[in-house]
Chain A
Amino acid sequence: MLVARSDINMEDLARRMSSLEEEAFLEFAAVFGPRFRKLFLNRGLNLTDAEDLAVSCVTDIALKVGQYRTTHGHFEAWVFTVARHYLIDWWRRQHPGVQLSDDSPIVPLSNEKLELNPEVVSAVRESVQRLSESDRTIIQMRNMEGECTFAEVGKQLGITAGAARVRHLRALQRLEELLERDVRIDEYLERIRVIHKEK
């Protein structure tokens, strides 16, 4: 059994998998299996569902490797885009007839091909820290740790779901202002502009 290595070259892994190298498939499982599991747990799935879906993703995404092109961005980002699609499909199967809304615990994500460099990660962390405690709590509950519903955020803060929605928008607006003033995210914003132009 292979253990995930931190120095793995993802593009090379994709190439080796396309050539049907057995060791590459096992490396893929060792690297991504636990990460899929974590992603699904973080998105609110219970342990059994998160593990079952993670295992299915290992098989199905590994089988789709031939569809990956470097023009899709980085291999890792492509893998997670596909994994998130699986999560959305899973969610739809569990909740037939229910539309995904901005209050659903699982929402489609965009700009998947962007990855944050350590400077941007620090900038985001510091900006969030500079928010008031209640703003920080709302953003953490809603956008970061749990992707809670507004009803859950409201319950935690002792306010209505509607008030939680308003406070959430306000917190995001403050965060936007803080981030915009931070030069460390300039490169990230530039990459977004390039992606939008490509679209």
Chain B
Amino acid sequence: MNQDKVSDIDNIAEYQPPEWVLSILTLFESSTAENAKSDKTPIDEMFTKRCAGAAELALNLAKLRQERQRVGFVPLSATDYIRRLIELVDIPESPILSWLQSEDFSLDDPKSANAFARLAQRVGISLREALVHLRISFAAQRGSPVPILLARTRSSSPHLTPIESSEVLLREIESGYDVADLRQLRAIEQELTASYE
């Protein structure tokens, strides 16, 4: 009797349930959950409103993304670039800021890098572009007349794309930073890169 039990266990341990059996149970559960299972935690109005807000946010982000595809990369600071896009699309800024849990679209410390990365990815801004927006913001905050310098770089190297000429210029500007500034910039860059999924 005991031996039978042992061999039964040995046999069953070798049994691999086919994937279709597991799937059919999962799909059965999903199919019946909405109809048959009484919901123990009824949905309140607040949740419904949050979902509607989430959908409106998605729509606004989708519009921003569409506009961003049309506009492409423009060598502006992170804040200015996002603000201009928002103005072009004519959507409210505040729901986006509350979703980001941020007061503005600035990119001046590692904490804001995370929020910016969230937005930038959804709007279709590549990591390379985001890093350039960050470096432009950083240079502008330190008094560099980025647009004028950039115009000069572009006229001397017309074969470069806007992002390439921005990178050339920024390397030049950054070579004049002191160690503390450089360290701060690298920390934000690192956070921004890590925040990109």
B-contacting residues of A (Cβ < 8 Å)? 1-2, 20, 22, 25-26, 28-30, 33-35, 37-39, 41-42, 47, 51, 54-56, 58-60, 62-63, 66, 80, 109-111, 114-116, 120-121, 124-125, 139, 143-145, 166, 169-170, 172-173, 175-176, 179, 185, 188-189, 192
Contact of A1 among B21, B24, B49 (CB under 8 A): B49
9 further interface pairs, Cβ-Cβ under 8 Å (given A55-B51, A59-B99): A34-B43, A55-B47, A111-B23, A116-B27, A121-B32, A143-B26, A172-B21, A173-B17, A192-B20
64-119 of chain B: CB within 8 A of chain A: 65-66, 99
B22 contacts the other chain (CB 8 A): yes
Q: Shortest 3 CB-CB distances between A and B: which pairs?
A: A33-B51, A29-B55, A62-B58
Please name all residues of chain A whose beta carbon is closer than 8 Å to the beta carbon of B20 when the two chains form the complex.
111, 188-189, 192
Using Cβ atoms and an 8 Å threshold, which residues of chain B touch A175? 21, 25
Q: Report how far A104 CA is from B131 CA in the complex, Å.
A: 38
Determine if A114 and B55 form an interchain contact, defined as CB atoms under 8 angstroms apart: no
Q: Is the CB of B15 within 8 A of A62?
A: no
Contacts of A22 in B (CB 8 A): 56, 59
* CB-defined contacts of B51 to chain A, threshold 8 Å: 29-30, 33-34, 54-55, 58
CB neighbours of B31 from chain A (8 A): 115-116, 121
Contacts A42-B33, A62-B55 given; does A33 touch B48 at CB 8 Å: yes
A188 touches B50 (CB 8 A): no
29 pairs of residues in contact across A and B, judged by CB atoms under 8 Å: A2-B52, A20-B59, A26-B52, A29-B54, A29-B55, A33-B54, A34-B47, A34-B48, A38-B39, A55-B47, A55-B53, A58-B51, A58-B58, A60-B122, A62-B54, A62-B58, A80-B30, A110-B19, A120-B24, A124-B25, A139-B25, A144-B25, A169-B12, A169-B17, A172-B22, A173-B12, A175-B21, A176-B17, A179-B24
* Chain B interface residues toward A at CB < 8 A: 9, 12-13, 15, 17-34, 37, 39, 41, 43, 47-59, 61-63, 65-66, 99, 122
A108 to B59, CA, bound (A): 29
Q: Is the CB of A39 within 8 A of B24?
A: no
Q: Give complex CA distance A124, B37 in Å.
A: 16
Q: Do residues A62 and B59 form an inter-chain contact, with CB atoms below 8 A?
A: yes
Neighbouring A residues of B48 by C-beta, 8 Å: 1, 30, 33-34
Report the nearest B residue to A191, measured CB to CB: B20
Alpha-carbon distance between A188 and B21 when the two chains are bound, in angstroms: 11
- Evaluate contact between A63 and B28: CB separation under 8 angstroms: no
Q: Which residue of chain B has the shortest Cβ distance to A143 in the bound complex?
A: B25
Q: Name the one of B27, B47, B53, B61 contacting A114, with C-beta atoms under 8 angstroms.
A: B27
Output the least CB separation between B15 and chain A (Å): 5
Establish whether residues B15 and A173, one from each chain, have CB atoms under 8 Å apart when the complex forms.
yes
